[in-house]
Structure 1
Amino acid sequence: MSGFVAGTGRAGQQTFRLAARFALRELRGGLRGFYIFIACIALGVAAIAGVTSVSRALTEGISREGQAILGGDLSFRLIHREADEDELTYLQDLGSVSRVATMRAMARLPEAGDQALVELKAVDGAYPLYGTVDLTSGMSLEDALAQKHGLWGAVADPALLARLDLAVGDTVSLGRGTVRIADTIAVEPDKLAGGMEFGPRLMISDAALPSTDLVQPGSLVRWHYRVRMDPAPSLERLEGVVEDARGAQPDAGWRVRSRANASPGLQRSIDRFAQFLTLVGLTALVVGGVGVANAIRAYLETKREVIASFKCMGATGGFVFQVYLVQMLILALIGIAIGLAVGALIPFAAAAALAGVLPVKLAASIYPGELALGLVYGLLTALAFALWPLGRAHDVPPTALFRDIVTGGTKLPRKRYLAATAVTVAVLAAIAVTLAHDTRMAGIYIAASAGAFVLLVLVARLIMAVARRLPTVRSTELRLAIANIHRPGALTPSVVLSLGLGLSLLVALALIDGNLRRELTATIADKAPSFFFVDIQSHERDAFEALLKAEAADAELQSVPMLRGRIVSLNGIASEDFVPAQEGSGWVLRGDRGITYDASLPKNSKLVEGDWWPQDYAGVPLVSFDAEAATDLGLTIGDEITVNVLGREITAEIANLRDVEWQSLAINFVMVFSPNTFAGAPHAHLMTLGWAEDVPAESELALLKTVSNSYPTVTAIRVKDAISQVNDLVAQLAWAIRGASSITLIASVLVLAGALAAGHRSRIYDAVILKTLGATRTRLILAYGLEYAILGLTTALFALVAGGLAAWYVVTQIMDGSFVLMPVTAAGAALVALVLTVGFGLIGTWRILGEKPAPVLRNL
């Protein structure tokens, strides 16, 4: 029997080898009872490995097509102005240069009175430097944009033709000019580089741009200079050129990008979405871990006699632990292998399914690093949930093992197993947070999941305690149902744990989605103005305002000067090198921002710190900064901010901080400067118009028609259209997130099914005894149905509370919105929980009631 005795060194190795032999022999009987175990691990691993692999495939796709997406090896962007002679000479010395101008404008049909906001793009003859623009008819871009019969050609997104009921060959007014739609765009290689779009694309030649009269001093136009370097430089060489460009032209104020970060906005979105889905996959693994623990407990229960025999023959508790730990690891590796195989195939399936949807081609491949991450997560999760039930079997004497079916086995395992479980969970959480794109959000998510898990354990115990103390009821079926909830070996902990986390996550996501929609369609829409008017020239401002007052006498008008600028440094630290105190307002440092000046505190702001400058202030430039952004960036009153506007770098001192009501969609700016800062600088004006009460859509469209025909170079944005577009985007994103999060619910369903299956053995004895004593099939089904309904409703109630609190925190504390609890979501959660628990429970009950009494009674 010495082989059973644990030891160290060589003896310990021999003991482990012997334990492994016993473990493999016991597995010869097959995997019956472990299918849920394997499925739970496989599902979570597949989710993590698949999501991270798809994210990597997207990132690699962007990198491979970086030149085409960016439009060159390098891109230099200026706001309001074109490059001067020295700057253009510098660019031409780097390689071939292509110039592209982008802006928003109104495409109009004057006779019909229809108009649409378009993303206008004016390109030169060298465009595109990389990739090709494919037109629907196969015509070349040069021919399509050429001037024919006195009209310049244009190519458009098919959506513009559908919106204005146009056909190829029709004409459309653009500013003060007219262009002919020569073709529609099938492929635009650099579309991703433009960021978010509010209208369909309309592309013209840069030679046609002057005829539109859209480019005026201060107009919101972005000039992109793309450079193609021959031979194609390495990424290291590009980084050097980017640094040289900033040093060689320090006052240019251009934003320089290389093909290495061709679409930073899309890359950030991919990273954040991948992080969220990875955390969802981790949640699915944690939920599946409950199934792992259930399966091991149920399996060890069937092995009581075997373990007792081992111990009677001299086996130590360590040997027993090793035997079943090896079995668990083998089963976990089977599940992990299945999950990795599925995860490895997901990028290829995603590339095929999304070929016509995504604007970039996925670089589908097998990524070992991402698969290794799934392997690590799977092993750590299996260990975290297996050590506790395995540890309980370490040093329990054989007599207690035989009693375990009656006592319920509530004794805790040894401290070493508790410590090992805690360390494994801590390592799992640390890896998830360390690898996250946003460590703060990942930490909150992990903490919330851990808190929900602990709460679910407490809720299950509370339900059992309450059921135990309820007074005796007259109904036999209800009395039996209540007794089943609190008896030793009850299904209550397993059911509550298995469904609670998945339902809580879905409730939270549904409530966040619903509150965002409500904020957009109700709160914001009520507060927001009806129109934004952009690019109003200074010499047209008074006449334009007079027209609006004449056409909408009862509407409220607001007008401010508007420029665009980019923060280049804060307290002498370059914005690229500046590390924000918090990540919330990092967007302020990315790209250009709208800025204004004012002698008085803006209407939609509240001063929270510092003093506003006098009306006739003429000292050093001062700036008022958004208080929340200042806190996130670590800025205080007296700090210095340098912005580049129209090629000039201006340093201003923070004079005060103010709260900004962003939700109103009124005129708001992060930075408001003292009026003397931009004295003499050319700029346009921004106006908003809104009614105190709702007006018919016909009135808004009539005003839009009048303004567009009278001032064709002014861009008019109808806020309801913009909100509708954003709402559609939120809806698509919400469905994608819900679909991905359903992985957690699937894991919950698997665990629930496994928990119910594990409880079938004791339920068979109960049913046979009760039937022998005269209970009918109908009464037993009713009793079990009531039990599952009570458990389902209590779990749904917890999910509503936990998910509601999580959604409240995200909406109010992270998104700074208002929150309301939506009863439809609550009813949905309750219905899902009821259907799952009662449905799976009754399916299993029907099988139980079909068991023959005689074989069971003979074994009692």
Structure 2
Amino acid sequence: MGRAEGFLLATRFAARELRGGLTGFYVFLACIALGTAAIGAVNAVSQSITEGINQEGQVILGGDLRFELVHRTASAGERAFLDSLGDVAVSADMRSMARLEDQSDQSLVELKAVDGSYPLYGELVTKPALDRSALFGEREGVYGLATQQILLDRLNLKVGDRVRLGNATYEIRATIEREPDAVSDGFAFAPKTLLSMEGLRASGLVQPGSLVEYVYKVRAPANTTPEGLRAMAERANAEFPTAGWSIRNRGNAAPALSANIERFAQFLTLVGLTALVTGGVGVANAVRAFLDSKRNVIATFKCLGAPGWFVTAVYLMQILAIALVGIAIGLVLASITPWIAVWALSDIIPLPADRGFYPAALGLATIFALVTTLAFAMLPLGRARDIPATALFREDGLQTDTRPRITYLLVSIVLIGLLAWLAVATSFDRKIAIIFLAGVAFSFAVLRAVSFGVQMIARRAPRVRSTSLRLAIGNIHRPGALTPSVVLSLGLGLTLLVSIALIDGNLRRQIEGNLPERAPNFFFVDIQNGVIDGFTRLITSNAGENGALNRVPMLRGRIVEVNGQDVSQIELPPEAAWVLRGDRGITYATEVPENSTLVEGAWWPEDYAGDPLVSFSAEEARELGLAIGDTITINVLGRNITARIASLRQVQWESLAINFVMVFSPNTFAGAPHAWLATLTLPGADATEEAGILREVTQAFPAVTTVRVKDAIELVNRLIGQLATAIRAAAAVALVASVLVLGGALAAGNRARVHDAVVLKMLGATRNMLMGAFSLEYLMLGAATALFALLAGGAAAWFVVTQVMNLPWQVLPGVAAGTLVTALVLTVGFGLAGTWRILGQKAAPVLRNL
């Protein structure tokens, strides 16, 4: 029989055997479907949102091109250039305090002033619907504004009421239902409030040095291509090299959001891959159990002269066919996920996500699933191929200690390597992907060592008098024991959950407990030079002797060159890119700032008057590859300033005190208009005292923006809670895969348990005795797995909290108890569920087949 005829015959046999249904492969199907659905869904949702941003780039950006300037408006020449590109709409963004007319309460707001051309694309939807004149126009000396409902709820207002901004009074004429370009403006920490440019000027909030971002949105001619837009941006930079503006086009409407979506999608993909790899253990168990049930058929094939490759081909075809069913189920789930996600995220991310079909995302999930199936099915197939027919007839099943041929081992290794390469090649951050995969591989190796250690301890345990306990200990280390499968299946999922729970718990404790104790009570922004002394006197008189006021000058600037090289041409790791992306707060000082420690270089003299110098944050400098003596060029107020790095500082960012990446020598910004930033720390102050100071500052200095730190912490805590919920849900996928594998492993061991139970019952063992023995076995395995998960997950969480987040570490016993209970419930529950049925088997049919 030739190879072609052999493969045809193998196909017929495989199809014939599949008529018997999928009995024994339900865990296999569930593992493959779950992993496929997780990877496919995450990538499909990510692609859906990304394509939605790309398709609606004009609306999200508010134009075809967007030019941003900080502190200043465009000069006459710059404005003329922008007008030459197309229609221009101008807006100004800043933060301020909205106050009730009687000054009894106030709230931080995000102001956005717009001109008559807004919006160039999309539609501003308000309730009630009003035209621009009715919405923002002046009536009886009072301008109108539109705000979000949350501001009305905070200040107990309604449409038609009035509030004060700066020195002027405004009428709330509508609430904002949809702002077309809100996403491109970035995350808002306070209720968004829209008004006209004329209305903003009337407030008196805009002063020299005020922290205002001016945005010029350009609607290019209809036939302008993406290449044409890029050419316009290059022309703008070439003709105005010191403008310092940040330029985006409709193809890059929300870069920060897109990057964050890609990062989060990468994390969830890796979690899904973990679930798939964990499910691969279930695949191996299912294949081994399936081949065990087919041992008589395999023996018959071999006795009839079938070569080893024929046996492999028959069952590999069946395994692939069943895997394709699981993949199909997973792809169906992944295909509908974008539709569900768009509906679920509509209130969180107001994006016009594209509801479509994403073959690339589904294809990637299919490849991952197929490679995983083949990688974990090869070794059981290799063992079955080389076992002689006499051994198959004589022995109880496939022996796990039979070594497959080197070919099968190499194929399995190559497939696992391919799986790792795919994960790295498709990742947003390859470094993180490599670390993640190395961690998973290390966890598998350690879990295998843990199972070996548990078996060794059980083997060397002293003899006990209790029959049930003696049987349980024997079951742990006997040949074909469930120990490796249980420890491996549960260990990875529990370790992942423990690490995430401990990181979340430590972060929450830091934010809710330790951080508020160390953090200042207030941040004060946009304190003008003319009022800084009066502001200081007011705070000092109200805060008393225990109050600590810290004030520093602040400007904003954008790094445009590093060592003479344009930052747009520099490739940076993601963790360092934020320093060069957009504008940074900067300051100058004669002494090393508080919460900073000089770690390298020297500080400048108090009367220094030489070339500009800068002190850089040590961690950020390391990530950017900067050292003492390097130069950075920063654009401030339309002027490029090159400074040499004179020192590096270790900055305590976690204190929430005033900290800057860059601190310049005072002579750098001599004569430049700027505002001041201040913090106030009031040890032991209650809400009433804080409210009194807030009211005093807002009434006396309406242009000063006051941020109550506790409110900001509560907002951050809510965001972390939402993120933690999403991450836990993703990690639960891995745990579900672990549970499925555990169930499959226990089901695969039921055949041997039937024989054990029947023989022991024939020797006088009672059902209660056997149930006790099996319960103790599962209990000990669950406890050992939980102990490993606590140690491994705790170590991983400690590293992330202390080394990555630079936060103090706390042991959380509640997490330990929860993990232990979860492990015991899963192992004992699943174990006893299958064992109870086994113990009811009649002895005669089993004994006849021994």
User: Offset of 1:26 from its aligned partner?
Assistant: 2.2
Shift of 1:497: 1.2
Query: Share of identical aligned residues, percent?
Result: 56
In the alignment, the residues of structure 2 paired with residue 132 and residue 406 of structure 1 have an alpha-carbon distance, to the nearest angstrom, of 70
Structure 1 position 626, deviation (Å): 0.8
Structure 2 letter corresponding to 1:259: R
Please say if residues 583 and 632 of structure 1, whose CA atoms lie closer than 8 Å, have aligned partners that are also in contact.
no
Q: Residue 768 and residue 690 in structure 1: after superposition, are their counterparts in 2 closer, same or farther (change >3 A)?
A: same
In the alignment, does 2:132 pair up with 1:129?
no
Q: How does 1:52-451 map to 2 (within 5 A)?
A: 52-109=43-100, 111=102, 113-402=104-393, 404-405=395-396, 408-451=399-442
Distance of aligned partners of 1:407 and 1:465 in 2 relative to their CA distance in 1, 3 Å threshold: farther
* Residue of 491, 503, 511 corresponding to 2:482: 491
Alignment partners' CA distance in 1, 2:127 and 2:495: 48
- Equivalent residue of 2:680, what SS? strand
Secondary structure of the structure 2 residue equivalent to 1:127: coil
Task: Name whichever of 132-141 and 184-193 sits farther off.
Answer: 132-141
Aligned match of 1:791: 781
Which residue of 733, 736, 740 maps to 2:726?
A: 736
Instruction: Please report how far the alpha carbon of residue 807 of structure 1 lies from its aligned counterpart in structure 2 after TM superposition.
Output: 1.5
Paired residue for 1:6? Answer: none
Taking structure 1 as reference, are residues 391 and 542 closer, same or farther at Cα in structure 2, changes over 3 Å only?
A: same
Aligned to 2:706: 716
Given that 1:504 and 1:800 are in contact with CA atoms closer than 8 Å, whether structure 2 keeps it comes out as yes
Secondary structure of 1:652's aligned partner: strand
1:405 touches 1:489 (CA, 8 Å); kept in 2? Answer: no
Aligned to 2:688: 698
C-alpha distance after superposition, 1:126-169 (max 9, x if no partner): 11111111112222343111111221111110000001111111
* Residues 1:625 and 2:616 aligned together: yes
Runs of 4+ with deviation above 4 angstroms:
none
Q: Secondary structure at the match of 2:740?
A: helix
Post-superposition CA distance 1:495-549 (Å, at most 9, x none): 1111111111111111111121122222322221111111111111111111111
SS of aligned partner of 2:469: helix
The one-letter amino acid paired with 2:562 is L
The CA deviation at 1:408 is: 4.2
> How many Å separate the matches in 2 of 1:351 and 1:196?
19
Shift of 1:232: 4.9
CA contact (8 A) 1:529 1:690 kept: yes
Q: CA deviation at 1:321?
A: 2.1
The 8 Å contact of residues 408 and 488 in structure 1, kept in 2 or not, is answered as no
Partner residue, 1:556? 548
Match of 1:476 among 449, 452, 467: 467
Aligned to 2:845: 855
- 1:570 equivalent in structure 2: 562
Gaps in structure 2 of 5+ consecutive residues: none
TM-score by length of 1: 0.97
Deviation at 1:407, TM superposition (A): 8.7
Equivalent of 1:805 in 795, 802, 822: 795
Assess, with a 3 A threshold, how the Cα gap between structure 1 residues 329 and 149 changes in structure 2: closer, same or farther. same
Task: Provide the rounded CA distance (Å) in 2 between the counterparts of 1:174 and 1:167.
Answer: 17
Decide whether the 8 Å contact of 2:103 with 2:695 is kept in 1: no
Structure 2 counterpart of 1:565, one-letter code: G
Residues 145 and 205, structure 1, Cα contact 8 Å, conserved in 2: yes
Query: Does residue 768 in structure 1 map to residue 730 in structure 2?
Result: no
Distance 1:703 1:325, change over 3 A: same
| Larger deviation, residues 279-288 vs 351-360 | 351-360
CA offset digits 1:550-584 (Å, max 9, x no partner): 1112211111110000001101111111123x432
2-side partners of 1:77 and 1:172: how far apart? Answer: 29
- Take 1:407 and 1:143, find their aligned partners in 2: how far apart are those partners? 82
Superposition deviation, residue 356 in structure 1:
4.1
Q: Deviations over 1:385-428 (max 9, x none)?
A: 11111111222223333455379431321222211111111111
Q: CA deviation at 1:197?
A: 1.4
Note the 1:610-649 alignment, pairs <5 A: 610-649=601-640
Contact 1:125 1:142 in 2 (8 A): no
Match among 716, 736, 744 for residue 726 of structure 1: 716
- SS class of match (2:568): coil
- Give CA deviations for 1:168-196 in whole Å, capped at 9, x if unaligned: 11111111111111111111111111112
One-letter identity of the residue aligned with 1:483: G
SS of match in other structure, 1:455: helix
Contact 2:292 2:398 in 1 (8 A): no
Q: Encode CA deviations 1:333-377: one digit per residue, 9 max, x unaligned.
A: 221122122212211222334344430122011111111101110
1:8 match: none
Q: How far apart, in 1, do the equivalents of 2:171 and 2:411 lie?
A: 73
Identify the match of residue 51 of structure 1 among 42, 48, 67: 42
How far does the alpha carbon of each residue in 1:187-223 deviate from its partner, in whole angstroms, 9 at most, with x for none? 1111111112111111111111122111001000100
Q: 1:403 to 1:606 in 2, by over 3 A?
A: farther
Question: Residue 565 of structure 1 contacts residue 644 of structure 1 at CA under 8 Å; is this kept in 2?
Answer: yes
Pick which of 90-99 and 813-822 moved more.
Answer: 813-822
Q: For residues 601 and 346 of structure 2, what CA distance do their matches in structure 1 show? A: 54
Provide the rounded CA distance (Å) in 2 between the counterparts of 1:354 and 1:608: 45
Q: Is the 8 A contact 2:95 2:111 kept in 1?
A: yes
Per-residue deviation, 1:780: 2.1
Q: Deviations over 1:53-112 (max 9, x none)?
A: 110000011111111111111110000001111111111111111110010100112525
The residue that corresponds to 1:777 in the other structure is 767
Tell me if structure 2 keeps the 8 A contact 1:406–1:488. no
After TM superposition, give the deviation of residue 488 of structure 1 in Å: 1.5
Q: How much has 1:784 moved relative to structure 2?
A: 1.5
Q: Is the 8 A contact 1:567 1:592 kept in 2?
A: yes
Aligned to 2:448: 457
SS at match of 1:29: coil
The answer to whether the 8 A contact 2:101-2:162 is kept is no
| Cα pair 1:507 1:829 within 8 Å, conserved | yes
The C-alpha deviation readout for 1:801-826, integer Å capped at 9, x for no partner, is: 11112212222232232322311111
RMSD: 1.5
Task: Give the whole-Å Cα distance in 1 for the aligned partners of 2:355 and 2:578.
Answer: 31
Rounded Cα–Cα distance in structure 2 between residues aligned with 1:15 and 1:628: 64
Rounded Cα–Cα distance in structure 2 between residues aligned with 1:44 and 1:129: 44
**1:504 aligned to 2:519?**
no
CA contact (8 A) 2:616 2:649 kept: yes
Output the CA distance in 2 between the equivalents of 1:458 and 1:152. Answer: 73
Using the alignment, how far apart are the partners of 1:341 and 1:209 within structure 2?
A: 52
Task: Sort the Cα spacing of 1:416 and 1:153 in 2 relative to 1 into closer, same or farther, 3 A.
Answer: same
Give the 3-state SS of the residue equivalent to 1:638 in structure 2.
coil
Amino acid in the other structure paired with 1:62: I
Structure 1 residue aligned with 2:648: 657
| 1:677 alignment partner AA | T
From 547, 559, 577, the counterpart of 2:538: 547
TM-score w.r.t. length of structure 2: 0.98
Q: C-alpha separation between the residues in 1 aligned to 2:532 and 2:80?
A: 37
Partner amino acid, structure 1, of 2:360: G
- Determine helix, strand or coil for the equivalent of 1:393: helix
For residues 6-45 of structure 1, what are the structure 2 equivalents within 5 Å? 11-45=2-36
